[in-house]
Chains A and B, each alone.
Chain A
Amino acid sequence: MAERMLIQGNEAIGYGAVSAGCVTFFGYPITPQNEVTEWFAREMPKREGVFIQPHSESGSINMLYGGAATGLRCLTSTSSPGWGLMQETMSHMANAELPAVIVLVQRGGPGQGTTQHAQMDYLSATRCGGPGGYKNIVLAPASVAENCDFVQLAFHLADKYRNPVVVLTDAIIGQMAEPVEIRSLDFGPLPPKDWAIGGKGRRPDRKRRFIQCGQGQISAEPYPNYLTFIRALDAKIRRMQSEVRFESYLMDDARLVVVAYGYVARVAKEAVNLARREGLRVGLLRPITVWPFPYEPLRARAEAGAVFLAVEDSLGQLVEDVRLGVDGRAPIHFLGMLERHDPTGAGMLLPGRLLQEIKKIYSGVKA
């Protein structure tokens, strides 16, 4: 029987990672993800795993690059300013085709911003902030339990595509505690990591391997030139686009569809329930993968005549994907962080404010 515990979202990252067989963690202190790093510092020695605190988030991500190259499941975790530092090697990992998981516990920006919650790294995570037009799958948990489960899914997807995967969570999910059933998830078989390095003597054929982040520049197997590499990258990006996952809540008859992810999706679900109690036909679309984004269900509801409300704790980032999905077929409304209940960094988007907005839009729909 699986163990049930009351834990913080940040700790759930740790339990999820070790359940997925992660044995190596690299992490630099930054609020509000410190509990993740501290969890691994405490737990890895007990589990004969490896914990290193590098000199910066650049150190973390480059250690992740090296650790992933050995074929082991490796994790790093950071918050928004540290995420900025990691962009260079996110791009290099995509070129080198190294699978690893990066947990991003978002805080408010830009710059040092606040140390408190926000959802302001959506575009940076989904559009990829580093140079060179790579892509990575981005999973967005909305509960402590999902932090635990999605880290495991992230490892599976990373290994499946030999590509980094981002778990995009936030300070609210990270800091709150919920009961979680710690379980090891099985997502099916994966290809062998016959590309991993660590000394050629570790392989029966004693043939060397090399991993390079200049694929396309230095002619080597399997890509003799830049164009063959770029074609393969394009094909991989297309394959990754099949991994769309989302939660559809009361969408079938919805005349107003709220779109939200992460902690705001929890708030939005509450507001949708309140609206339904008043007889309003409101539904929620919660992207679980924010890249690849679930454009198709948005398009379908738009064609059925629904209108849309994007809600997020930022100045407007997720709303851009809603626009791409709806593609001019229906009106799109936006409720962002300026509508928090409190003008300090501690302010949140709350169900009451969202319900008020839903009612306002809904009255327009009826008329």
Chain B
Amino acid sequence: MSREEKEGRTWVSGTPPLWVRHPAGSRHCPGCHHPIIERLIADVVGEMGVEDDAVLVTGVGCSTRAFVVLDMDGISTAHGRAPDVGTAIKRSLHGRPIVITLQGDGDCIAIGAGSLLAAVGRAERITVIMANNANYGTTGGQMAPTTLMGQVTSTTPGGRDASTGYPMHVPELLATLKGCVYAARGSVHTPANYQRTKKYLRIAVQKQIDNVGFSFVEIISACPPDWRLTPVESLRFIEERMVPEFPLGEFKNVGGIE
């Protein structure tokens, strides 16, 4: 089956084969993009045929619940430590598992920045997905390292200003580091963007299979309750506010580390 056929089939309708109906459910809010990201992982892992070796490592926050609903081995970790945990799983089993971490922006680049950068520095053969919703979703919408200038959060009630710093651009940052062989930013707010982001994740996982280096995909993710927007308004917010600050695309894609 061609790649187009495969991708067409999974997008059109139905539940991916790696989806589990768990009694606790994933309990995401209406309009949240985390379930779409979970589905995207299920699609990519299923289509690439790596579900037998896949291990999903989740951070603390809304990403944590992904391991509950995906039919692959999973582990939750202390806040920000998924790259450390993923590294150990990958290397303890001598490189066999396909390790994918799913972390929020606060988990990944605030409390977990040290773990992330160290894993890139060591060129760990793991794939980190950072869901960027520009705030701390689970705890009620506080400022994150990715919060936009002027964005109102519960800890920037007057809107974020320069006294609290500036949004962090993570794939751009990681692209400058030698250990990183793939860095991209996608979004899931339109079907076309879902497909593009799926392609990014496929390439990122392929880098791991090819054993060339660290791969990273940021995915812009709506958080309607904390943005105080409806799900539809949130899509517009992504288009008009998030994407101009966080440009979509690939920032690095190399076949190996020189």
Chains A and B form a bound pair: yes
Q: Which residues of A contact B (CB under 8 A)?
A: 23-24, 26, 50, 52, 54-56, 58-59, 62-67, 69-70, 72, 74, 88-89, 92, 96, 197-202, 206, 208-214, 218-220
Partner of B78, one of A26, A50, A89, A208: A89
* Cβ of B12 to closest chain A Cβ, rounded Å: 26
Give B1-48 interface residues, CB cut-off 8 Å to A. Answer: 20, 22-24
* Cβ of A219 to closest chain B Cβ, rounded Å: 4
Chain A, residue nearest B67 (CB): A210
In the complex the two chains form, what is the Cα distance from A142 to B75 in whole Å?
A: 37
Partner of B73, one of A24, A54, A66, A200: A200
A63 with B73: in contact, given A58-B114, A212-B67, A214-B64 (CB under 8 Å)? no
11 A-B residue pairs with Cβ-Cβ distance under 8 Å, sorted by A, are A52-B87, A59-B114, A62-B84, A65-B88, A92-B77, A197-B74, A199-B72, A206-B52, A214-B64, A220-B24, A220-B68
Residues of B within 8 A of A211 (CB): 74-76
Given contacts A55-B117, A210-B73, A213-B78, 7 further A-B contacts (CB under 8 A): A54-B87, A56-B118, A66-B86, A67-B92, A96-B75, A198-B93, A219-B23
* Cβ of A45 to closest chain B Cβ, rounded Å: 12
Residues of A within 8 A of B172 (CB): none
* Cβ of A285 to closest chain B Cβ, rounded Å: 37
Q: Is B115 an interface residue (CB 8 A)?
A: yes
Q: By the criterion CB–CB under 8 Å, are B88 and A55 in contact? A: no
Residues of B within 8 A of A96 (CB): 75-76
Which DSSP category, helix, strand, loop or mixed, fits chain B's interface? Answer: mixed
Q: By the criterion CB–CB under 8 Å, are B78 and A66 in contact? A: no
Q: By the criterion CB–CB under 8 Å, are A65 and B77 in contact? A: yes
Q: By the criterion CB–CB under 8 Å, are A63 and B96 in contact? A: no
Q: Is B91 an interface residue (CB 8 A)?
A: yes
In the complex the two chains form, what is the Cα distance from A165 to B39 in whole Å?
A: 38
Residues of B within 8 A of A62 (CB): 77-78, 81, 84-85, 88, 115
In the complex the two chains form, what is the Cα distance from A206 to B72 in whole Å?
A: 9
Q: By the criterion CB–CB under 8 Å, are A218 and B84 in contact? A: no
Among all A-B residue pairs, the 9 with the closest Cβ atoms: A201-B52, A66-B88, A55-B118, A62-B84, A66-B85, A210-B74, A199-B53, A63-B88, A62-B81
Q: By the criterion CB–CB under 8 Å, are B24 and A55 in contact? A: no
Residues of A within 8 A of B217 (CB): none
In the complex the two chains form, what is the Cα distance from A252 to B118 in whole Å?
A: 56
In the complex the two chains form, what is the Cα distance from A277 to B78 in whole Å?
A: 55
Residues of B within 8 A of A88 (CB): 78
Q: Is B174 an interface residue (CB 8 A)?
A: no
Q: By the criterion CB–CB under 8 Å, are B73 and A209 in contact? A: yes
* Cβ of B238 to closest chain A Cβ, rounded Å: 28
Q: By the criterion CB–CB under 8 Å, are A66 and B89 in contact? A: yes
Partner of A197, one of B22, B65, B73, B118: B73
Partner of B92, one of A24, A92, A218: A24
Residues of A within 8 A of B71 (CB): 200, 208
Residues of B within 8 A of A63 (CB): 84-85, 87-88
A219 with B53: in contact, given A66-B86, A197-B73 (CB under 8 Å)? no
A197 with B75: in contact, given A50-B91, A66-B86, A66-B89 (CB under 8 Å)? yes
Q: Is B110 an interface residue (CB 8 A)?
A: no
Partner of B76, one of A26, A59, A214: A214
In the complex the two chains form, what is the Cα distance from A56 to B257 in whole Å?
A: 25
Residues of B within 8 A of A209 (CB): 73-74
In the complex the two chains form, what is the Cα distance from A67 to B88 in whole Å?
A: 5
Which one of A26, A66, A88, A218 has the highest number of Cβ atoms from chain B below 10 Å of its Cβ? A66
Residues of A within 8 A of B54 (CB): 199
Q: By the criterion CB–CB under 8 Å, are A198 and B97 in contact? A: yes
Q: By the criterion CB–CB under 8 Å, are A210 and B75 in contact? A: yes
Q: Is B250 an interface residue (CB 8 A)?
A: no
In the complex the two chains form, what is the Cα distance from A321 to B57 in whole Å?
A: 40
Residues of A within 8 A of B81 (CB): 58, 62, 65, 89
Residues of B within 8 A of A219 (CB): 23-24
* Cβ of A116 to closest chain B Cβ, rounded Å: 29
Residues of A within 8 A of B91 (CB): 24, 50, 52
Q: By the criterion CB–CB under 8 Å, are B96 and A69 in contact? A: no
Which one of B91, B98, B118 has the highest number of Cβ atoms from chain A below 10 Å of its Cβ? B91
Chain A, residue nearest B58 (CB): A212
Partner of B89, one of A58, A59, A198, A218: A198
Chain B, residue nearest A89 (CB): B78
Chain A, residue nearest B52 (CB): A201
Residues of B within 8 A of A58 (CB): 81, 84, 114-115
* Cβ of A221 to closest chain B Cβ, rounded Å: 10
Q: By the criterion CB–CB under 8 Å, are B52 and A213 in contact? A: no
